[in-house]
Amino acid sequence: MTTLVLGSYVNAHCLQVLSLPGIGQSVLANRYWSEHGGKGLNVGVGLKRLDADTVILLPVGDDKAGQDITDELQRMNIDTRWVIRCSSQSGYGMGLVDSQGHNLIAVFPGANAQLNTPSVLDALQQCRPCNLYAQLEIPLETVIAAFSAARQQSLCTILNPSPWQPLPAELMVMTQVMIINTTEAAALFNCNRQQLPQSPADWLQALPNLAGNINWQGDWLIVTLGDLGCVALGHDELLYQAAWTIAAIDTTGAGDAFNAGLLWALERETPEQALRIANACGAYIAKHNGVLAHLPDRQTLQAFMASQPQPEGRKIKRAF
């Protein structure tokens, strides 16, 4: 089953700092690194590493970074026919990572902002996928058009609304699987983070009502909770899956790895096991500096999961 990933590319640069600066504060960094990144790129490569049949529609610039990522994808044996040169400059990002693995990230979209509807519709027609995955480092109107076409073809639509922006009702209705973190959840549910549930038990109790308040109609609404794990709301059940116990080095890209693991596992495992696998993919990335080089293949993922204490899970049948 092919997944079409509406990709994004970011020429990513990171600084390691002792603590994240406040407004007007300057801090010294003790380490610098750069890599190919972008939410769409990370998810697409993550899926390919797990041997999923994946097409990555990737907008890049007509610059050295665009050529470099094209060459890198070829070295990974990933089809580059769907790398599209959309503008003169590729996306560019700068991240700060503190000693606890927390981060701040800013992204200039560059070519990502030029990914248009005709390119997406062409990819849908030629690739004939079963699943369509999107994130919001590309234009919202392109995502809406893609999801509309996908639902007309009875494809499964998966959305990670990050970086966050308000979601039109038409996009909400067309989304079957949505994956959000707590920052995005606060925006989606129109509250501040202090008003959100603070424990997994509280999330299990509150999530159905929060979803009802926004008239959520999709198959799965999944909220990642960082080192607490994740919760998921289905039509008939509520699930909680605890996180894997690790010492986080850098959480940048952990959400993208989670999403890739979830998409891969949902087609092969029970929902409970899919969440456990997704958590493991995110945890594995958080154990490393950098993302793309560390996205796990199946053998690496299995070895990591076998070497760790198995995290708890909980399943609740929904009452209507």
Tens of pLDDT, residues 29-69? 999 989 999 999 999 999 999 999 999 999 999 999 999 99
Q: Read off the tokens for 154.
A: 């009875």
Average pLDDT over every residue of 122-142? 96
Q: Read off the tokens for 200.
A: 């997994």
Catalogue all structural domains in the chain, each as residue range(s) with its CATH number.
3-10+38-88+115-317 (3.40.1190.20)
- Position 320 scores a pLDDT of 53
- Position 319 scores a pLDDT of 62
C-alpha distances (whole Å) from 285 to each of 28, 187, 291, 301 are 25, 26, 6, 11
Predicted confidence (pLDDT) at residue 130 exceeds the cutoff of 60? yes
pLDDT band at 103 (very low <50, low <70, confident <90, very high): confident
Higher pLDDT, 88 or 211: 211
d(CA 230, CA 184): 14
d(CA 196, CA 193): 5
Least-confidence region, from 99-108, 121-130, 165-174, 240-249? 99-108
Virtual torsion, Cα 136, 137, 140, 146, nearest 10 deg: -80
**What's the order of all strands across the beta sheet hosting 91-97?**
29-37, 10-17, 91-97, 103-108
- Work out the mean pLDDT of the chain and round it to a whole number: 95
- Position 102 scores a pLDDT of 86
Q: How many residues does the chain have?
A: 320
Percent of the chain whose pLDDT exceeds 90: 88
- Position 107 scores a pLDDT of 87
Question: Which residues touch 253 (CB under 8 Å, ≥6 apart)?
Answer: 37, 42, 285, 290, 291, 292
Least-confidence region, from 161-165, 171-175, 189-193, 207-211? 189-193
Average pLDDT over every residue of 271-278? 97
pLDDT digits (tens, 9 = 90+) for 285-306: 999 988 999 999 999 999 999 9
pLDDT band at 144 (very low <50, low <70, confident <90, very high): very high
Higher pLDDT, 135 or 192: 135
Question: What amino acid is encoded at 272 in this protein?
Answer: E
Distant-in-sequence contacts of 126-129, Cβ < 8 A, 24+ apart: 127/2, 127/4, 127/55, 128/2, 129/1, 129/2, 129/3, 129/4, 129/55, 129/155
**What's the order of all strands across the beta sheet hosting 156-160?**
83-87, 54-61, 3-6, 131-135, 156-160, 177-181, 220-224, 230-233, 237-241, 313-317
Question: What amino acid is encoded at 290 in this protein?
Answer: G
pLDDT band at 127 (very low <50, low <70, confident <90, very high): very high
Average pLDDT over every residue of 104-116? 93
d(CA 25, CA 16): 15
The alpha carbons of the chain give a radius of gyration, in whole angstroms, of: 19
pLDDT band at 195 (very low <50, low <70, confident <90, very high): confident
